[in-house]
Amino acid sequence: MPRFISAPRCNLRFSAPVCLCLLLATGLSAKEYVPEDPLEKNLLEFVSYEIAVEGEVWKEGSHFPDLEWQSPDRVLSIIGQCPLVIRWFDKDLSEVSKPNGKAPYVAYLEGRSEHDQHIRRMITVSPGGKALTAFPHPSVEASFDENQWLLDEQQIALKRKLLGVEQKYPKFKAPQQTNENAPTLRPGTADEAGFTPESLVEMRKACRAWYESSKEPFIALVASHGIILFHEAFDDSTTGKTTIDTPKHMASITKTMSACLFAEFMDQGLIGLDDPVGKVLPDFPIEGAKTFTWRDTFMHTAGLHVKAGSGREVHNAWSDNWAANLLPCLKVGKEHKYNNMDTEFTGKAMELITGTSVLRLIKDHLFAPLGMTHSRISDVCHGSECTALDAAKFGQMLLNQGAYGDTRFFSKETFQKMLPVKLFSYWPNAKFDIPWGMGLTYFNERDPRAGKDGVPANKTLLSRKTFCHGAASGAVLRVDPENEVVVTLVRTKNSEGDAYKINLAKFLLAVDSGIVNRKP
């Protein structure tokens, strides 16, 4: 059984609540990934296990609680003997050998496996009388709470201290105030927005029919040239009625938000899109076949995949090491594997650079400056909730190439780096030459009338340059730069299957058909 070296009483184990993440590129879940390589299968199992506190109750006394791997026999079988040195730190980040009344405490565990894998883990514990509060697994609701973010920041501060990077990076600045007066959203008429008056009737008709068939409440919004011409909620339920001010789950559109925060770091010269990940995160190489860049994390070409991350790693400062433990089986640049851990990497880097929870960074450097007052976030992959208006403000900022009103989040040059490019541009031997960017992909949804009654066979719903990201919840954000249109539709879940795609197409067709002087 793996043994751990610490102040006298520490053991460990990793168990596997193996969390299956949804592949969200199209808004539909994907089949579970089943690795064929035995090494990959074993390492994926290993990183699914966690450090846990032995027993259910710990009252602060003369010693710290015992720690153990969940499933210690499996850990031994997979990685062999791996003694971990355990060091305890109090809330002031002072190293202590026993509890001193300054909870919460963070345990930092470090060692090397028989195969020379560098293992690092952290766990925060706090005495609670009859129960023990242990992290990094708070409830989803608790993840929205800034008190949880303070606990995260205790781990981040300790990580920065242990790595000696507390003074390494310049201060991350707030979005810049300018005088450019980029378009912001305001209510207006269809005529002001460049739409036909009849289009409002058709949008409402499509949305009403969609709600009647699915009974899933939602809010839809259409804006053009900064004018909101359509903004309505569809919900006839008698309890929990959805209004236009009701936030809904944005799922993987959250990745686009995280990418925009990362773009701010790029714009300030704190990180480079083509820098090796190992330049910031110490357990990754900066040269050789296993080296991958931040561009790879956004393009999902780093070799990670669905089982490597659950979206909950945001609450553990060393969760990037979990992925580093997968390095022996990573096939960098070989294929596009959509996953959540790639986005987690970017969050770990931004935290290490600033010492601040990435959730707080998104709130303070994105949501607040945009006036997204009804939005909140619990992880960087798929944990945001927004109203249709808040999501549209975010979309308008993208349409403005990084600005909203007098606030510039990142330059137009940086925005251009975010746009999708073909994978072959960077990895000519990759299996799939699809366009992908920083949390962005193109949406070329075919017009259901294409090829009929004189409609061009390649006709799309909105222009062919329409972009953003899909969502498993069925949430929609479309940004059409050619026609200066932003479309949002927010909802809690998508359980309609093919009917969802049909209803979405009808709604987008109503939007598309209403544009006066539409550009392809």
Question: For 426-469, how does the pLDDT look when each residue is reduced to its tens digit (9 = 90+)?
Answer: 888 887 788 999 999 999 999 999 999 989 999 999 999 999 99
CA–CA dist 48, 16 (Å, integer): 5
What pLDDT, on the 0 to 100 scale, is given for residue 16? 28
Q: Inter-axis angle of helices 197-214 and 498-513, to 10 degrees?
A: 170
Domain boundaries, the chain: 4-135, 168-520
pLDDT of residue 291: 96
| Predicted pLDDT at 128 | 62
Tens-digit pLDDT profile for residues 381-416: 999 999 999 999 999 999 999 999 999 999 999 999
Q: What is the pLDDT of residue 17?
A: 26
| Contact yes or no for 95/87 (Cβ under 8 A) | yes
**CA angle centred on 477, ends 473 and 483, rounded to 5°:** 160
Q: How many CB atoms lie within 10 A of CB 272?
A: 14
The residue ranges of the chain whose pLDDT is under 70 are 1-34, 55-58, 128-140, 142, 239-240, 306-312
Can you identify the CATH homologous superfamily of domain 168-520?
Answer: DD-peptidase/beta-lactamase superfamily (3.40.710.10)
**In this structure, what token pair is assigned to residue 388?**
């249709």
In whole angstroms, give the CA distance from residue 435 to residue 430: 12
* Contact criterion met (CB below 8 Å) for 360 and 464: no
Task: Return the closest-CA partner of residue 44 out of 234, 326, 271.
Answer: 326
Q: Hey, which residues does 276 pair with through a beta bridge?
A: 293
> Do residues 75 and 69 touch, judged by C-beta distance below 8 A?
yes
User: Rounded to an integer, what distance in angstroms lies between the CA atom of residue 376 and that of residue 367?
Assistant: 8
Query: What pLDDT score does 167 carry?
Result: 96
d(CA 418, CA 415): 5
- 3-state helix, strand, coil split of the chain in percent (to 5) is 30, 20, 45
Quote the CA–CA distance of 399 and 403 in Å, as a whole number.
8
- Tell me how crowded residue 80 is: count the other CB atoms within 10 A of its CB: 12
